[in-house]
Structure 1
């Protein structure tokens, strides 16, 4: 994949305590690794290890970030339903 062909990914991590963390990245494998090294989001630092339980690809960064924002507005039950319905 060329540099200009970035994959814009909305992703959901499950933390050690069972909570969810949603984010955006253009390199999912690297981003999950960074979270598990304690260098990612402040939220995930004390909740490691994390595992990626869901992701969606988008054509643009804006679309992926809009999906992340919309997901964060949902209740936990709605988040679980969303991930189950979109597998």
Structure 2
């Protein structure tokens, strides 16, 4: 069974990060408002990034890690800009 970590851009420009074992159903749930919480009042949402993992534990670990990232680092991830992700990680660790 596969699991995904995903990132949504909400209508207000904020990002939401989650994980699931059924990406299509989860995105549809966010989009329809069936999933309560953060995204329910920030629709429509757009799937801007996702990655598949072999286990729920790995997907959850990625979710937790990305949730702690700055907006700039999340945007670099969406763009696939690994150089910026690395630079932003170093600059944060120097504080």
Give the helix-richer structure, 1 or 2.
2
Give TM-score, length-normalised by structure 1. Answer: 0.87
For 1:1-87, list aligned pairs within 5 A: 6-85=1-80
Give TM-score, length-normalised by structure 2. Answer: 0.80
What runs of 5+ residues in structure 1 fail to find an aligned partner?
A: 1-5
Task: From the CA coordinates, give the structure whose radius of gyration is larger.
Answer: 2
Q: CA RMSD in A?
A: 1.5
2-side partners of 1:41 and 1:24: how far apart?
15
2-side partners of 1:55 and 1:41: how far apart?
21
What runs of 5+ residues in structure 2 fail to find an aligned partner?
A: 83-95
Superposed CA deviations along residues 37-78 of structure 1, whole A, max 9, x for unmatched, are: 112140001100111110000011000100000000101001
